[in-house]
Amino acid sequence: EVQLVESGGGLLQPGGSVRLACAASGFTFSSYAMKWVRQTPGRGLEWLAYISGSSNIINYGDSVKGRFTISRDNAKNALYLQMNSLTDEDTAVYYCARDLFDLWGQGTLVTVSS
């Protein structure tokens, strides 16, 4: 089955860090660029980061540049998002998505609160 499954979310303290993971299956992972997107009730959908299939092209949205790092391990069919210096504004459901937004994971909830 073609799918993406995120993990790693939870309740985190302000200033803390977490690494989200996205496990891909059912397709040739290394052939696809991948993205991270988050969603909040108030701010809707927000694109966070992009990584090409070979990791040679990476870019970030302004709100996370310098705090978040996207990476991938094609041998493990895995995508990652390292999130540092968390604030309450990072509270959201985090999705990984395939390049054209044609495949999404179920999302993982990150809550930043003291």
Partner 1 sequence: QAGLTQPPSVSKGLRQTATLTCTGDSNNVANQGAGWLQQHQGRPPKLLSYRNTNRPSGISERFSASRSGNTASLTITGLQPEDEADYFCSAWDMRLSTWVFGGGTKLTVL
Nearer to partner 1, 8 or 107 (CB): 107
Q: Among residues 63, 102, 76, 100, which one has the least CA distance to residue 22? A: 76
Q: Which residues contact 113 (CB under 8 A, 6 or more apart)?
A: 11, 12, 13, 14, 88, 91
> Least Å distance between CB 13 and partner 1?
26
Nearer to partner 1, 27 or 50 (CB): 50
Q: Which residues contact 66 (CB under 8 A, 6 or more apart)?
A: none
> Least Å distance between CB 45 and partner 1?
4
- Tell me which residues touch partner 1 (CB under 8 A): 35, 37, 44-47, 50, 59, 61-63, 95, 97, 100-107
Nearer to partner 1, 16 or 23 (CB): 23
> Least Å distance between CB 23 and partner 1?
15
Q: In the 8-state DSSP scheme, what is residue 31?
A: G
Q: Hey, which residues does 58 pair with through a beta bridge?
A: 51
Nearer to partner 1, 1 or 102 (CB): 102
CA distance 90 to 74: 27
> Least Å distance between CB 73 and partner 1?
23
